[in-house]
Amino acid sequence: MSVGKTKFYAMKLACACIVIIILLMLVSM
């Protein structure tokens, strides 16, 4: 397993989490 692929997956996962948090904040307003 390459390090670059793992890093890319982790970055993609972090972006998804940020988007979900923003959506939840907008809904709760």
Range of the domain at 24: 1-28
What confidence score (pLDDT) does residue 3 get? 82
How far is 3 from 18, CA to CA, in rounded Å?
A: 23
Biggest alpha carbon–alpha carbon distance for the chain:
42
Count of structural domains within the chain: 1
pTM to 2 decimal places = 0.62
pLDDT digits (tens, 9 = 90+) for 1-29: 588 899 999 999 999 999 999 999 999 98
